[in-house]
Amino acid sequence: MMETEENLSTIIITLFIMLFSWIFIHRLKQRNSKGPKTWPFLGAAIEQLVNYDRMHDWMVEYLSQSRTVVVPMPFTTYTYVADPANVEHVLRTNFSNYPKGEVYHSYMEVLLGDGIFNADGELWRKQRKTASFEFASKNLRDFSTVVFREYSLKLFDILCQASYSNQEIDMQELLMRMTLDSICLDMANTIVTLRFIDPLWKVKKFFNVGSEAVLDQSIKTIDDFTYSVIKRRKAEIEESEGINKDETRSQSNMTDKSLRDVVLNFVIAGRDTTATTLAWAIHMIMTHKNVADKLYSELKRFEEDRAEEEGISLIKYHKENPESFNQKAMQFAGLLSYDSIGKLYYLHAVITETLRLYPAVPQDPKGILQDDVLPDGTKVKAGGMVTYVPYAMGRMEYNWGPDAASFDPERWLKDGVFQNSSPFKFTAFQAGPRICLGKDSAYLQMKMALAIFVDSTNSSCSQGTKWHTG
């Protein structure tokens, strides 16, 4: 009996020494590594979880040292890239080798389903073709202009009412309401993102505990609302005069689930881009007086020139008549047509510079179908993931020069006219075959809202208002 216990103790001690030696040698090999420190079995999961609340800045630190960073995880390996050449290779040159992939799809399916932002192959191409046709429609463009103007004026009215009553304003919360007010969407987005670095998410999902239980409840709330809208809309169509119900049913080959996925994909994309970017743009304008002054000057010149073109007299604001301020704002908004707003180059530069530093999608992972070699020589293995990082790319001096961290809209202008950059360098709207179809629509909405906001904050409406943008 004593001999058995001694043998067992010897085995345990030997195994402990072997494990300690393995870990020691593993960490010793990483002394000169430019990527996160890893552990056997766990990879860099511990460091990623510790830095979850500062994930994007954490990646900036590593990509500042190396344009490509390899991050092993328990079940896959992420390769993060910030070099435009590598990004172009992934998003365009070898596009077919870098789909969304099964791993990404499994993480996001609960929220995005098989919608355009979570689909590959023929399913993606079909949705892309349909969406391309819709976004190119002049009717949609004209309708969007009217709707964006209307909602921008509603935003303006809320700000004015708050100012008159000396209320505090939470701009980000207000802007989210302007696009879509949904706490459930915020919660679902946060938890789904956590799946990328949480190796135990499938266990939590199986037992319906922790963050996965919260996610499940959020998705149920989102689905209940979305399916009710679909059901109501179908009923309206079938009840319309002159519609043959049987014919309508036979022509529709989309299930309610497919419609739900399509709707949520575009709603989430549009909501996050416009609301988040507008909140950051307002913050940057209000913390950079020189930018605010230049933007206001451009808007005043625009207003005067447009009024002359239309042959109208500009309404003057009178303090003793608050209603004149609303009339003035409505007149200014009416001058913001689809074509004329495109001439506001500095406004466009302000929004683009905001997106460079604070992109709505900070990082975007792609699956790897076959082994490949990136332009910088980095080898990537099938089954892993390559992630380009717009947030970090906008802060890299090797991409934007020594002032990369500075907010400077002038970098986008040449002789006062806006100049585009390579979409593989400025990746806020992705690039290649998957480039964002709603880019122009997003710019239109943001420029409409920001122009009216800036014009109003330089008038009496804003004098009593306290702004919260951070």
C-alpha dihedral, 455 to 457 to 460 to 462, nearest 10°? 150
14 C-beta neighbours (distance < 10 Å), count: 10
Distance of alpha carbon 432 from alpha carbon 424, whole angstroms: 8
Burial 66-78 (b: 16+ CB within 10 A, else e): bbbbbbbbeebbb
Residue stretches of the annotated binding site: 436
Q: Which residues are annotated as a binding site for heme?
A: 436
Say how far apart CA 428 and CA 357 lie, in whole Å.
9
In the 3-class helix/strand/coil scheme, how is 407-431 assigned residue by residue? CCHHHHEECCEECCCCCCCCCCCCC
User: CB neighbours of 111 closer than 8 A, spacing ≥ 6?
Assistant: 188, 189, 192, 219, 222, 264, 268
Q: How many C-beta neighbours within 10 Å does residue 356 have?
A: 26
| Angle, CA of 446, 448 and 454, to the nearest 5° | 90
How open is the CA angle 3-6-9, to the nearest 5 degrees?
Answer: 155
Distance of alpha carbon 80 from its chain centroid, rounded? Answer: 18
Place of tokens 């003793």: 320
Q: Cα–Cα distances in Å, from 403 out to 79, 281, 345, 408?
A: 26, 18, 21, 9
Residue 28 tokens, joined: 């010793």
Tokens of residue 235, six digits: 């009923």
Residues β-bridged to residue 372: 380
Judge residue 10's burial from the number of C-beta atoms within 10 Å of its C-beta, 0-12 exposed, 13-18 middle, 19 or more buried: exposed
Contacts of 195 (CB under 8 A, 6+ apart): 107, 201
The rounded Cα 378 to chain-centroid distance in angstroms is: 27
3 state DSSP class of 379: strand
Cα 262 off chain centre by: 17
Cα separation, 438 vs 41, whole angstroms: 41
